[in-house]
Amino acid sequence: MKAYLDLVRSIFEQGAWQDNRTGVRTLSLPGACLRFDLRQGFPAVTTKRLAFKAAMGELVGFLRAADSAADFRALGCRVWDQNANENRAWLDSPWRDGPDDLGPVYGVQWRQWPAYKLLPADAAARIEAAQARGYRVVGPVQDGGAPHVLLYKAVDQLRACLDALIHDPGSRRILFHGWNWAQIEEMALPPCHLLYQFLANPATRELSLCLYIRSNDVGLGTPFNLAEGAALTHLVARLTGYEPRWFTYFIGDAHIYETHVDMLREQLDREPLPAPRLHLSDRIPAYADTGRYEPEWLERLEPADFVLEGYRHHPPLTAPMAV
């Protein structure tokens, strides 16, 4: 994958050394962008072996709103073990609920974003309108000395995106994100890949994704996140009647950990191989073929439903994850 290697070169050539919370220095570059035409293949790194099954396990965990490292392990993904059980700040946090707990990370925000409304008790029309949109009354509260009503619902952002692709595909508001300021302190790790915007072209029946990542570990995280974002685009396209097209990957802080330098320099010496293809299991319904909208498949997926075909790669390379 040439674009990935070009990013690595740019960081080596233009990045600056910085200290950070992990204690492992990074060579950091502010602002980076990768762009892939998904018609030309799947953006899997080929200069080392991509842990594709683990990446798909993590994606499925996100889709299921997993909040425990044990949930991810059951799906074949162990990348959350250290953040759950070895991060000193999280181990000391009053929000941690025992071994393997992660708090309301990623998928919890994607699928169960906690939404509240505090309305005056006499605002009957507003309360009724909120209830019509799925809010339920939690109870009466006093605010500023006046009686109010607190209402709550869990917002399924991802499902709302699929609904919009079916009913309002020309919208430029089809997005979801995971940066919930009210719950950041309750998470083992705040979201890095945090904003996903779907852009549909109803005329060509093509679906594109723009993904913004605030902070990206280019050695270990970028290959994982590229695979997950591209696979999600394929999946959402299948469920809503589109063909996957452009995948644009924006990074705020693109960095290489000092402990990853040797691994990445070795990759730069390797020739990238042709991109593989992604095959989605035939059991996942294609809206374009059936005409039936079945968003419940977001919860039915298994990691084995995602298969890389024709994936050729160089030998594996490993490096420690900074926590």
Q: Position of tokens 């025992």?
A: 98
Q: Detail the DSSP E strand segments found in 189-301.
A: 193-201, 206-217, 243-257, 277-280
Q: Could you list the active site residues? A: 192
Query: Roughly how many angstroms between the first and final C-alpha of the chain, as a whole number?
Result: 27
The Cβ-side half-sphere exposure at 50, using a 13 Å CA radius, reads 29
Whether the Cβ atoms of residue 305 and residue 76 lie closer than 8 Å to each other: no
Orientation angle between helical segments 52-63 and 221-240, nearest 10 degrees: 60
Residues 6+ apart with CB under 8 A from 80: 58, 69, 72, 73, 102, 188
By CB neighbour count within 10 A (0-12 exposed, 13-18 middle, 19+ buried), where does 85 fall? middle
**Alpha-carbon gap, residue 171 to 174, rounded angstroms:** 6
Binding residues for dUMP: 21, 172-173, 214-217, 225, 255-257
* H helix count then E strand count, the chain: 12, 11
Binding residues: 21, 172-173, 214-217, 225, 255-257, 322
Rounded Cα distance between 218 and 254, Å, is 6
